[in-house]
Structure 1
C-alpha cells in the first residue's frame, strides 16, 4: 500500500479485543510494507556495522605496509558508504509510508465506526476522548507500527555483529556478546513506571481537551453569565496538571536515555582496557583491537532503537487500547442485517413502551424525563446500544435491528435535541442524501429560516446568494434558535419515511414555533413524523398525542382532550398542579383561541 493509494478501499475488520491485539492486527495487515522496511533497514544497519571491520582491516594494512589490502579496504568502505546512503533513504521512505498508512487505516476505521454509531457515540464515550483518539492516539499508533520494522532490523544486526565478533576475535567478542544484551535489557525494569506516567499524562491531557471543547461549545452562554474567567481558571489548572504530568514522564524517559548512554560508555571502557591488555601481550593485533572497539561504538546506534521501541510501545499501547475501545462499540442494528435491503413501510411501534406512531400521521410524544425521551427517540431510530436488553422498535412489523444499516437509516431519521451543524456553506449543509421530494427552499420555509438567511447574507460580504454564505463550525456565529431551525430544515430535506424529532423548537419563540408546527404538518403530509415535545403549540398540531410515564404509554388522544382529562399530562405540559388546573384551563383555552385567530389572520393576509 502506497500513500498515493489512500484511502483504503476497505480498511478491514479490526481485532478490537485489546490494545496489543489491535496493534498486532495492524502490523499483520501491513506485512508487505513491514518486510520492505526490514530489508532496507538490514542493508542500512549492516552497512553501518561493516565500517568497523573495514577500518580495522585498513589499519592493519597500514601496519603491515600492504598497499593492495589498503586499496581493498578503501573499496569496501566506499561500498559500505553506498549501502548506508541507499539503505537509510529507502528505510526512511518505507518506514514513513508504514506510519502514514497505518494512521490512515485507523482513522478510516474510527470514521466508519463513528458513522455507524452516530449520536450514540458521545453518550458512551466523552467527546474529548473521541477527539484525542482520532488525533494524538492515531499518531502514536502509527509511530509504533513504523518503529517495529526498524527495531527488528536493528536487533538482527546486533545479533549478527556479536556473532561476527566472537568468530573474528573470541577474546574480545565474548565480552561484547555478554555486554550488549545487558545494555539492551537494562531499561526494562524502568518501563512499567514510565508507562504509568505516560498513561497518567495522557489521561490529564484528555480531560483538558474535553474541558476546552466544552468551554468553546458553551462560550456564548459563558459570556452571557460572565463565566469566562471561571472556566479560564479551570482550564489553566487543568493545563498545569498536564504540564506537571508531562515533566514527570519526561524525567523518567530522560533517565532511560541516560542509562542508554552510560552503559555503552562503560562497555567501551571495558573493551578498550581489555583490548589494550591483550595487544600488549601480543594475543591480538592493533587492527583487531580497533575493529572490536569501533564495532562496539557503532553498536550504540542500533541500540538506541531499543529505547525507541520501548517508548513507542509505552505510548501506543494505551492509545491502541482507547482506539480498540471505540472500535469495539456496537449498535443494536446489525451492519449487514438479516432482511432484504429494501426498508419496509408502515406503523412505527416500540414494544418496550407500547408507543405506536401510525403511518402517515404526525404523532407527538410527551415524556416527563428528557433523558428517557432521548433514549426512546434513539431506539425508534434503531440506534439503541448493543448492551441494551430492550427489544428493537418495529417498522411495518419488521425489527429495525434486522435491517441492513443503510436501509434502517434511510427509513428512519432521528434528529436529537442538540444537532450539530458542520462548517461550510448553507448549500453544502443542505446537500444531504434525500428522496428529492422536498426542495431546500421548501424545507427552509417550513422551518421558518427567513431571518436566518437574512443574517447569513448580511454576515457574508462575498456571497450574493444566501445559500453560498458560510456557516462557522457548529454554527457558533448563529443563535441557538437559528441553529435549531437550520438543523430542522436539513432533516426535512431528507424526506425520510419516518422522521423523529426530539425537542425541535425548544430554542425559538412561541409565534415562530406555531408557524414551524404548521410547516412541519404541511410538508410532512402523508409521511410518518414523531415529535418529542412538551410545547402546547406543537402538541395542538399533532394528529395523535401519547403520554409516556415511567417507561410506558399512559394515555393517548389529542392535546385539547388530554390537557383536561389527564392530570399527569397536564403536569408535564403546563407544569402546574391539580389545584392550579381550573385557572390554567381558562388561560390555556384563551391562548389556543388567540392562536387560532392569529392563524386565520395570516391565512387571510
Structure 2
C-alpha cells in the first residue's frame, strides 16, 4: 500500500469523463490489480463449498466412506478459514482504492480551484464545487472500489460456467446463456437511471447555491423583510430536489429488485433441470446439490455485476462534473514571454478610469457605484484584464495625465508574470474567506514574529477579537470564521492583508461592517502602518477618506476629480453627495 494522499496527484486526462476514470485507474493500477487478485481468490474460495459439499455427500451417502467424508469436511473447514482471511484482505484493498481515488480527485480539484482563483467563482457555482468535493469524489471512489469485485465476479462466473459445462452440458449451457441475458436485461434501466441521477445532482448543486446565498445575505434579508420570501423559494427548491431524489430512489429500487429477481429465475431454472437430470440418473445426488449450490451462489457475483452497472452510472455523472471543473481555464493567463516588473516602489495607472495611484502614498478612491470600485480594484491587481492595460511603475501626474506606456520604468501588468503580480500587488475584498485552523496560521501562514502580529492586529483594531477568542492566537477558527461577526471578520481579514506586507495593497471597503469609533481608529492606524508604501482604499467612508493622502472621485467609470477629502467636499458637489450619503447624513 502507498501513502494517502499522494505527494503528487499527477496531471489528469479530462478530455472526457471516461478518460478521467481510466486515468485515475492507471494512476493506481498496482493496487487495483492487487484488489482484483484478492477478489478472485476470495470469490474462488467462496465458490468451493458447493463442490466440496457435493463430494462430501457422495462420499458419505453413495460411497459410505467415513474417512473420505472427514477429509472433505476438513477441506470445507479450511476453505471457510481461507475465505475469512481473504475477505478481510480484499476489503482492505477495495477500501484503499476508494480512498486513493477519492483523495486524488479532491487534491486535483482543490489544486485546479486554487489556480483558477477568481475565475472559478465567475464560471462555476459554489454548489457545484461543493458537490464535486463531497458526493462526486465518493461516487468515483466507489467506482474504483468495485473494480476488484467486478474482476472477481467475472472470473468466478466464468469458472463456475466451465465447471457446469464439463459436468452437464444442459446445465452449463443454461448458465452460460443466462448470465449474459441477465446483464442485457438490465440495460434498459441504465439510461433512465443515469438521467435521473444527473438531474438530482444538478438540483443538489442549485440548492447548495441558494443556501449559501441566503446565509451570506441573511442580515440584509432580515433588514428588508425578504427572509420569508427567500425561505419560500428555498422550500420550493428543496421539494424539487427531494422529488428528484425520490425518482432516483425508485429507479434504484427497481435495479435492486432486478438484481434479485433475474438471478433468482436463473437459480430456479437450474434447480428444475438439475432435479430432472438427477431423477433420470444423469447426475448423482451430490452433483445435484452442487448444481443447486452454484446456482444459488451465482446470485452473489451477478448482484455484484449489476451493482457495478449502477455504480458506473453514478461514477460517470460524478466524472462529468469533475472534468467540467478541470476543463476550466483562467480568465487571466500568463503572457507568452513575461517581462520583468519595474523596480520596487512604483505606482499604478488605470487608463480605463483615469485613476493614478502614486507611489508611496495612501490613495482613496470613492466610486458612485460599488461595482465600479470592485472592477477598478480587480484591474489594479490584474484579477481582470483591460484594454488599454493597467500600468505599473514610476507613474506620476494627475489622473488625466497617466504615465506613457513606453516609459522605460513602466510595465503593463498584463505583460508581467502572474506570480510576480500576485507577489507585489494584493487585493483584499469582503469576499475573502477565513479558513479553518489556528488563528495564528490564518493570519500569517508562513509565520512571523509576535511583534509584527501585534502591530498588524493593532492597526486593524482586532486586538480585542484575539483576546476574546479561547486560546488567543492559538485558538481555532471555524470554517469561514462563522464564530465571528461581519465586522470582526473584516478586521481579521485586514490584519491578514497587512501581515502580507505587499508592495501595493488594494483594500475594498475594509470597514463597511464596523462601527464609527472602530472605523476612525482603523483609518488613523492604517495610514501610519502603511506609511511610505503604496496603498489604495476603495471606499465611500468619510472617516477613511479623511485619512488618505489623495482622494479620487470616480463617476460613470471615469475619474471626475481628485485632491484631499476636504478639498473635494468644497469643490465637487457630486463627491459631497456621495460621501454624505455613505456617512448616513
**TM-score, normalization by structure 2:** 0.85
Structure 1: how far apart are the matches of 2:92 and 2:208?
33
Return closer, same or farther for 1:34/1:352 CA change in 2, 3 Å cut-off. Answer: farther
Structure 1: how far apart are the matches of 2:541 and 2:205?
38
Structure 2: how far apart are the matches of 1:349 and 1:321?
43
Return closer, same or farther for 1:146/1:537 CA change in 2, 3 Å cut-off. Answer: same
Q: Name which of 491, 494, 498 aligns with 1:488.
A: 494
Give the aligned partner of residue 603 of structure 1: none
What is the deviation of 1:314? Answer: 2.1
Q: What is the correspondence of 1:113-124 to structure 2 with a 5 Å cutoff?
A: 113-124=112-123
Contact 1:343 1:403 in 2 (8 A): no
Give the aligned partner of residue 111 of structure 2: 112
What is the deviation of 1:381? Answer: 2.5
Give the aligned partner of residue 427 of structure 2: 414
Structure 1: how far apart are the matches of 2:386 and 2:154?
51
Q: What are structure 1's unaligned runs of at least 5 residues?
A: 577-586, 592-605
Give the aligned partner of residue 153 of structure 1: 152
Give the aligned partner of residue 137 of structure 1: 136
Give the aligned partner of residue 441 of structure 1: 454
Structure 2 residue 19 is matched with structure 1 residue 21:
yes
Structure 2: how far apart are the matches of 1:434 and 1:473?
21
Q: What is the correspondence of 1:365-384 to structure 2 with a 5 Å cutoff?
A: 365-384=365-384
Give the aligned partner of residue 431 of structure 1: 444
Deviates more, 1:144-153 or 1:66-75: 66-75
Deviates more, 1:56-65 or 1:40-49: 56-65
Give the aligned partner of residue 505 of structure 1: 511
Contact 1:337 1:401 in 2 (8 A): no
SS for the counterpart of 1:439 is helix
Q: What is the correspondence of 1:176-195 to structure 2 with a 5 Å cutoff?
A: 176-195=175-194
Deviation digits for residues 537-585 of structure 1, max 9, x if unmatched? 4334434444555555565555555556667656655569xxxxxxxxx
Deviates more, 1:28-37 or 1:329-338: 329-338
Give the aligned partner of residue 283 of structure 1: 282
Deviation digits for residues 316-339 of structure 1, max 9, x if unmatched? 222222222233333355589965
Contact 1:433 1:494 in 2 (8 A): no
What is the deviation of 1:227? Answer: 6.1
Contact 2:424 2:502 in 1 (8 A): yes
Contact 1:347 1:357 in 2 (8 A): yes
Give the aligned partner of residue 407 of structure 2: none
Return closer, same or farther for 1:401/1:432 CA change in 2, 3 Å cut-off. Answer: farther
What is the deviation of 1:179? Answer: 0.5
Q: CA RMSD in A?
A: 3.6
Give the aligned partner of residue 54 of structure 1: 52
What is the deviation of 1:71? Answer: 5.0
Structure 2 residue 320 is matched with structure 1 residue 321:
yes
How many equivalent residue pairs? 567
Structure 2: how far apart are the matches of 1:141 and 1:389?
40
Return closer, same or farther for 1:302/1:489 CA change in 2, 3 Å cut-off. Answer: same
SS for the counterpart of 1:255 is helix
Deviation digits for residues 429-478 of structure 1, max 9, x if unmatched? 4233478798222222222335x44xx64x55x65xx5456655544454
Give the aligned partner of residue 65 of structure 1: 63
SS for the counterpart of 1:186 is helix
Q: What is the correspondence of 1:238-387 to structure 2 with a 5 Å cutoff?
A: 238-332=237-331, 345=344, 346-350=346-350, 353=353, 355-384=355-384
Q: What are structure 2's unaligned runs of at least 5 residues?
A: 394-409
Give the aligned partner of residue 127 of structure 2: 128
Structure 2: how far apart are the matches of 1:362 and 1:314?
57
Deviation digits for residues 347-375 of structure 1, max 9, x if unmatched? 33456555443332323334334234323
Structure 2: how far apart are the matches of 1:89 and 1:270?
33
**TM-score, normalization by structure 1:** 0.82
Q: What is the correspondence of 1:438-477 to structure 2 with a 5 Å cutoff?
A: 439-449=452-462, 452-453=464-465, 457=467, 467=473, 473-477=479-483
Give the aligned partner of residue 41 of structure 1: 39
Contact 2:335 2:414 in 1 (8 A): no
Contact 1:435 1:496 in 2 (8 A): no
What is the deviation of 1:81? Answer: 2.4
Structure 2: how far apart are the matches of 1:381 and 1:445?
26
SS for the counterpart of 1:140 is helix
Contact 2:95 2:145 in 1 (8 A): yes
Give the aligned partner of residue 402 of structure 2: none
Structure 2: how far apart are the matches of 1:257 and 1:167?
32
SS for the counterpart of 2:120 is helix
Contact 1:434 1:496 in 2 (8 A): no
Give the aligned partner of residue 544 of structure 2: 538
Contact 1:47 1:80 in 2 (8 A): yes
Structure 2: how far apart are the matches of 1:389 and 1:160?
67
Structure 2: how far apart are the matches of 1:194 and 1:521?
61
Structure 1: how far apart are the matches of 2:89 and 2:334?
41
SS for the counterpart of 2:363 is strand
Structure 2: how far apart are the matches of 1:277 and 1:327?
59
Contact 1:201 1:249 in 2 (8 A): yes
Deviates more, 1:55-64 or 1:225-234: 225-234
Deviates more, 1:41-50 or 1:205-214: 205-214
Structure 2: how far apart are the matches of 1:170 and 1:391?
81
Structure 2: how far apart are the matches of 1:390 and 1:9?
41
What is the deviation of 1:492? Answer: 1.1
Give the aligned partner of residue 8 of structure 2: 10
Structure 2: how far apart are the matches of 1:486 and 1:181?
63
Return closer, same or farther for 1:512/1:63 CA change in 2, 3 Å cut-off. Answer: closer
Structure 1: how far apart are the matches of 2:477 and 2:509?
23
SS for the counterpart of 1:161 is helix
SS for the counterpart of 2:535 is strand
Deviates more, 1:250-259 or 1:272-281: 272-281
Deviation digits for residues 288-343 of structure 1, max 9, x if unmatched? 33323322211110111122212222222222222222333333555899659999
What is the deviation of 1:273? Answer: 1.9
